[in-house]
Structure 1
Amino acid sequence: ITNRDKVVTSFIAGAIAGSLAKTTIAPLDRTKINFQIHNEQFSFPKAVKFLATSYKEHGLLSWWRGNTATMARVVPFASCQYAAHEHWKIILKVDTNERRKEHYFRTFLAGSLAGCTASALTYPLDVARARMAVSKPDRYRNIIEVFREIWRKEGPRHLYRGFAPTMLGVIPYAGASFFTYETLKRLRAEQTGSTELHPIERLVFGAVGGLFGQSSSYPLDIVRRRMQTAPLTGQNYTSILGTLIMVYKNEGLIGGLYKGLSMNWIKGPIAVGISFMTFDISSQAMQKALTSRFWTRRRTA
């Protein structure tokens, strides 16, 4: 299979993996965002109460409010991230480098660059998703209205509001997630002598990767959300450092900069585990189909 085929199959498999993972944890994601942008202290009872209130007032589908915007971002983001990861792995020669220390560094770097590439290409969609998730149900009918309002009232540059903390957070998050997952797979393959892993193993390895990734970048995720939704919440968050200081002074370290991290330790590993597992299974199936005798004949005909 060619390098081009690897990138293309990664793009398609990434879309499948991202959409399945995010839809699964969408209610938890909406709850997390709600607590991230408000001064109210996070707790599991309060999280359950938020979901219960949403269900009572707006119905079950309210748990997936903003999921359309999420899918509009996640599908291209996951596609770009996995395709970019495959591309950067080829450029950095990750799979052909046998020197262990250098291999580990290049694995981390490929993950970080993949995350940065995808974030830069899809960031306005993330801003729209955050706005829809925290707004009242009748505020926006669709994601297009979010873009129109931001463009008209705040200007086009605000489509990238909070972009700097996002990029700073993506470097450790994507790097740690991909590095942990790829390293655990490699160590397991060395132990068993086979590259074929059970789906549950992939799920667990992905979950561990997600846990490390989420924990390493969480305060910057708080900053990103506060800056993205500042026009809706009435807060004056204009810079990374200023937002960090304001949140720390008003809400503290655990209750502010790490607010909702315990929920992220549940939803993050689940989402990343499902995503990595689905991606591997989907991409392997497509690559196997591309190398099948029938497909090879059609391509060479």
Structure 2
Amino acid sequence: MEDPRRALKILVAGGVAGAVSRTATAPVDRVKLLLQVQDVGPALTIRDGFHRMAAEGSLRAFFRGNGTNVIKITPETAIKLTANDHIKRLLVADLDDITPVQRLVSGALAGATAQFAIYPLELVRTRLAVCPSGHYHGIVHCFTRVLQEEGHRAFYRGLTPSLIGILPYAGVDIATFELLKEHMLDVYDGAPPPYCILGAGMLSSTVAQFVSYPLALTRTRLQVQGYCGRPVKYAGMVDVLTKTVANEGFQGLYKGILPNLVKVAPAAGISWFVFEEAKLLMGMNPRI
């Protein structure tokens, strides 16, 4: 018999998983954003990004924007994983019969649902991470200034490439992890070792990143243009992609992907591990 509190348990497990994983990798996430938005002059390196944060003079500089990130990622992960579980059950009557394509569709729709729900926090997180120290005094101040100076539509700037990008990312990530976990459960005849869950999460996220990264870069550039001294250079998603390829080459679409992989791969591994462990602690069946 299905646990009537299943949705709540998945919501809690997903929220905890998101908060823990993102805090552990916050400094690398800020470096990634600094590299993504730099579209003129000599290209920043990962070392340059860390030096720039260190020059701000405090440990807090390495975690600037992480408060917003945690506030964002906690409900995002919780909503995504809860929606994925619900959508799978709408697609098939018996989860033992679900196909890889159905897993892909379920993950993609769940990711889009979560992304739309928390997108204003994504914009605030990006602004806090890339604007000079002192420009904003925190999450509430950033929200207030964006609303007063740019209007409510600014909170959804870059939403289209974000939603388009999350469909393949979430679909590939969730489907790949679930297939790997299913195989491991058969191999180990029960819960697999922690390093296997970590590895499966890192692998699934890495594959998904390569599929969707150009759209993540597009979203970030749209979010920060026209603010903190940055000119308005792009008319929309297609304009960003076209100008990036024309001015920076095809490799420009993947600017910042190395620190992103360094951050996202372990973050995804940690997130999936915490999620699976939390489910076990709440007495849930690891196979469903």
Question: Structure 1's 242 and 223: CA in aligned 2 closer, same or farther, altered over 3 A?
Answer: same
- CA distance in 2 between counterparts of 1:52 and 1:130 reads 19
- Counterpart position of 2:146: 150
Which amino acid is the alignment partner of residue 196 of structure 2? E
1:209 aligned to 2:208?
no
Between the aligned partners of 1:4 and 1:65, the Cα distance in structure 2 is 39
Match of 1:88 in 2: 87
Mapped to 1, the partners of 2:190 and 2:43 lie a distance apart of 42
Match of 1:240 in 2: 237
Unaligned runs of at least 5 residues, structure 1: 290-301
Sequence identity, in percent?
29
> 1:237: Cα distance to partner?
2.1
Which structure: larger Rg?
A: 1
Counterpart Cα distance in 1 of 2:255 and 2:280: 38
Distance of 1:50 and 1:59 partners within structure 2:
15
1:186-265 equivalences in 2 (<5 Å): 186-192=182-188, 194-232=189-227, 233-254=230-251, 256-265=252-261
Give 1:1-301 correspondences, 5 Å limit: 2=2, 4-39=4-39, 40=41, 42=43, 46-93=45-92, 96-98=95-97, 103-192=99-188, 194-232=189-227, 233-254=230-251, 256-287=252-283
Q: Distance in 1 between matches of 2:46 and 2:171?
A: 29
Cα pair 2:56 2:133 within 8 Å, conserved: no
| Per-residue deviation, residues 84-133 of structure 1 (Å, max 9, x unmatched) | 112112222375242xxx61111111111110110011000000000110
SS of aligned partner of 1:231: coil
Q: How many angstroms apart in 2 are the aligned matches of 1:73 and 1:149?
A: 19
Query: Matches of 2:282 and 2:72 in 1, distance apart?
Result: 23
Where in structure 2 are there 5+ consecutive unaligned residues?
none
Name the SS for the 2:282 alignment partner. helix
Name the TM-score, length of structure 2 as normaliser: 0.92
Cα distance in 1 for residues equivalent to 2:199 and 2:148? 45
Aligned residues, how many? 282
Q: Tell me, yes or no, if the aligned pair for 2:54 and 2:62 is still in contact at 8 Å.
A: yes
Output the CA distance in 1 between the equivalents of 2:107 and 2:169: 9
Counterpart CA distance in 1 for 2:165 and 2:150 is: 25
**Which one has the bigger helix percentage?**
1
Cα distance in 2 between the residues matched to 1:135 and 1:79: 28
CA RMSD in angstroms comes to 1.8
**Structure 1 CA distance for aligned equivalents of residues 63 and 48 of structure 2:** 16
AA partner of residue 14 (structure 1): G
CA pair 220-249 structure 1, distance change in 2 beyond 3 A: same
**Counterparts of 1:94 and 1:129, CA distance in 2:** 39
DSSP-derived class of the 2:95 partner: coil
Q: Which amino acid aligns with 1:77?
A: E
Corresponding residue for 1:292?
none
Q: Quick check: 1:89–1:95 contact (8 Å CA) kept in 2?
A: no
